[in-house]
Amino acid sequence: MKVLGLETSCDETGLAIFDSEQINSDNQGLVGQVLYSQIELHALYGGVVPELASRDHIRKLVPLLNELLEQCDMKKSEIDAIAYTKGPGLIGALMTGALFGRSLAYGLDIPAIGIHHMEGHLLAPLMGANPPAFPFVSLLVSGGHTLLIAAHGVGQYEILGESIDDAAGECFDKAAKMLGLPYPGGPNIAKLAETGNPDAYALPRPMLHRGLDFSFSGMKTAVHNLIKDTEGSDSDPQVRADIAASFQHAVVDTLVKKCVKALKQAGMSRLVIAGGVSANTHLRETLEAELDKINATVHYAPPALCTDNGAMIAYAGFERLQAGQSDDLAVSCIPRWPMTELPAV
């Protein structure tokens, strides 16, 4: 089944074609993908401007689809089904992709399905020849979410813990901003941290011993104070690298300890990490080392499938379509949408 996936929930226009008949160890069944980021458009305003995001998706969807088809050497008529992001996200941005996808499917007389953006992230590491089997604990760490989930099957998600304030990715982005690094902060902090000492400064590990919830807003204040105490964000390059490394270490340490606790609590031995922050090398390496000690394994997607993309939407769509699910002609997007409300497959 060849599924076209469309992602337009925020500031990225992502399109991809997943083909369940072309899964092999190299390509995850991914025939091709295109991604356009609106980062530069919004940089001027210091944050995503919803109306500008919607307009830019509209401008980009048709040219990107044509580019994708050319890349895949495919005709529109060869697409078997379309999956689009239905929520959560910015309502205007969601509507552009949903209406585009729904209408295109109607025109081609093929099924369409609306997908939960976070389910897309969660399932992305399962694309490919050797996916980790259910059940597993999923750590979803992205720009807007920090969730620990017991995943019993597609659509069977039990929330074990979540952030009570900022998301992990948001925390990276805010710390980066304070250090004068550009958005998105995660990869830039990670790069700066490479030359820093992770033990240079002791940063807090909030709520470490309290259940499986997270709190990251206190980290902001801690980084802010640290920068002030070390003479500002334009201090000595080594000090900046040490701050980045110490910050990254504190966030990773918190995430890893909660993952270990969640695996024990759920009685599971597989951890699947997803979302933009799961691209972080320090997080991956620390998890590998710590989970090895408790005979558990960690699974993740290639970096390009960790952040927003159309492939994860195509794949989540495939999982639901092959189980006989699809949406009717009415398009309804859901800006706030708990994952526990999804139907099981």
Which positions touch Mg ion (CB under 5 A)? 10-12, 308
Residues sharing a CB contact under 8 Å with residue 328, sequence separation 6 or more, in sequence order = none
87: left (phi over 0), alpha (psi -120 to 50) or beta: left
Nearer to ligand ATP, 61 or 306 (CB): 306
Closest distance to ligand ATP from the beta carbon of 5 (Å) = 14
Nearer to Fe ion, 19 or 308 (CB): 308
Q: Which residues are annotated as a binding site for substrate?
A: 140-144, 173, 186, 280
Q: What is the DSSP letter of 163?
A: B
Give which of Fe ion, Mg ion, ligand ATP, none residue 312 binds (C-beta under 5 to 8 Å, depending on kind). Answer: none
Spatial CA neighbour of 333 closest among 117, 16, 87:
87
Quote the tokens at residue 26: 């190299």
Task: Give the binding-site size for Fe ion (rule: CB under 5 A).
Answer: 2
Give which of Mg ion, ligand ATP, Fe ion, none residue 172 binds (C-beta under 5 to 8 Å, depending on kind). Answer: ligand ATP
Selected binder of Fe ion within 173, 308, 319, 327 (CB under 5 A): 308
Q: Taking contact as CB under 5 A, which single stretch among the options 53-61, 123-131, 159-167, 306-314 is the one that binds Fe ion?
A: 306-314
Closest distance to Mg ion from the beta carbon of 174 (Å) = 15
Nearer to ligand ATP, 54 or 69 (CB): 54
Nearer to ligand ATP, 79 or 256 (CB): 256
- Regarding 11 and contact with Fe ion (CB under 5 A), the answer is no
- Regarding 54 and contact with Fe ion (CB under 5 A), the answer is no
Spatial CA neighbour of 254 closest among 219, 221, 223, 281:
219
Closest distance to Mg ion from the beta carbon of 120 (Å) = 13
Give which of ligand ATP, Mg ion, Fe ion, none residue 173 binds (C-beta under 5 to 8 Å, depending on kind). Answer: ligand ATP
- Enumerate binding residues for ligand ATP (CB under 6 A): 10, 117, 121, 142-145, 169-170, 172-173, 184-187, 190, 275-277, 279-280, 307-308
CA distance 270 to 252: 18
Closest distance to Fe ion from the beta carbon of 274 (Å) = 9
Which residues share a beta bridge with 37? 12
Closest distance to ligand ATP from the beta carbon of 80 (Å) = 27
Give which of Mg ion, ligand ATP, Fe ion, none residue 32 binds (C-beta under 5 to 8 Å, depending on kind). Answer: none
Handedness of CA 60, 78, 112, 115 (dihedral sign): negative
Matching residue, tokens 């529109």 = 76
CA distance 308 to 12: 7
CB atoms < 10 A from the CB of 299, how many? 18
CA distance 109 to 253: 50
Q: Which amino acid is at 224?
A: H
- Regarding 142 and contact with Fe ion (CB under 5 A), the answer is yes
Lateral strand order in the sheet of 156-162 = 156-162, 146-153, 136-141, 270-274, 297-299
Closest distance to Mg ion from the beta carbon of 39 (Å) = 8
Closest distance to ligand ATP from the beta carbon of 18 (Å) = 18
- Regarding 38 and contact with Fe ion (CB under 5 A), the answer is no
Q: Which residues are annotated as a binding site?
A: 117, 121, 140-144, 173, 186, 280, 308
Nearer to ligand ATP, 7 or 319 (CB): 7
- Regarding 278 and contact with Fe ion (CB under 5 A), the answer is no
What number of H helices and E strands is found in the chain? 10, 10
Quote the tokens at residue 276: 């933009």
219 membership: H or E segment, kind and range: helix 217-229
Q: Which residues are annotated as a binding site for Fe cation?
A: 117, 121, 308
The torsion of the CA quartet 334, 314, 121, 36, rounded to 10 degrees, works out to: -90
Answer for the pair 243, 230: CB distance below 8 angstroms, yes or no.
yes
Binding site for Fe ion (CB under 5 A): 142, 308
